[in-house]
Structure 1
Amino acid sequence: MTTIAIIPESDDRTAKYRAICGQKQAIGFTPGQALDNIEQQLNDAGIVRDSAIAIILHRTQSDRFFPSQQHKKLQDLMARFHETSATGNALSDGDRQELDRLAELELEAAIQRSQSLLQQIQSDTRDLSRSPNSTKINSDRPGEIDLKFQLVLGRSHIPH
């Protein structure tokens, strides 16, 4: 399975998105444009990819799984991490531990968010399969839909 991560970025003038697949990267003004650009790079390079693609869009807002207080603190620490790295310095041990803790909490939130999405999809699928006008999709059992959902989590590593 090919995995493409799409990460929002911004500079002083514009917001943009970076799509990453292995060593390849592409930028676009929208997530879709970044995705199109990375797919074009992969095609131009003759890189054979299987037909299944997992797209991970990094969330930049808080939600019920990762509250705004934690989100704000993570953003602040990440900004300080980038600032100190650019000058050849490092975060304090306390800030580094807090950043690691928040990164773990964000990963757990992503897992919970994905589990919630899976439950919603399964519920919607059951509702659809009960509908008298439902279509049988990839199933040997009449009236049922064979739903396959694979969770792919990307985790960026912050160097120590």
Structure 2
Amino acid sequence: MTETRENAITDELTLLGAGQSFEEEMCHMLEGAWMFQDFDWPEILALAKVVQAYAAAPGTVIFREGAQGSYLCLVVSGRIAISKEDGHGASKEVAAMGAGKMVGEMALIDGEPRSATCTALDAATVVLLTKDNFQRMTQQYPALGLKVVMKIARLLSQRLRRTSGMLVDYLQD
């Protein structure tokens, strides 16, 4: 991780493995995620070389609202909560997500501070892709980088459509 603020947060996570000895296990983690279901094995293998898997104990903050973002998070197992602070400093849970879901993807795109806090609800395994590793992967494997960006764009589009629908419902009440 490059940002000091997120370094302190990721210190709470336990690295599960890295390098060639962990590559096959990492590939199996990735191929089980909906985002990568249409990726072929060489793409999964290339992606496995640039991500890290971590264990998060219940209550562990994976990233915090307002911190400078430097990675996205794929939930492999367990559940996480997404929360935002309201105008009075109270935290409100806005979503809970389980295995196969991705959060923090905006950090790879815009580099802006985190828009929400992500916390492990129970014991979770997460895979992190840092912005630096994503850029390296994109330089080495441009087609793979484009494929990942298109998946992120599709995810952001789905979330925007859902949020727009919720806003319309809210405004009509």
Fold-level match, TM-score > 0.5?
no
TM-score normalized with structure 2 length: 0.31
Q: Which has the higher contact order (CA 8 A, sep 6+)?
A: 2
Structure index of larger Rg: 1
TM-score (structure 1 length as normaliser): 0.33
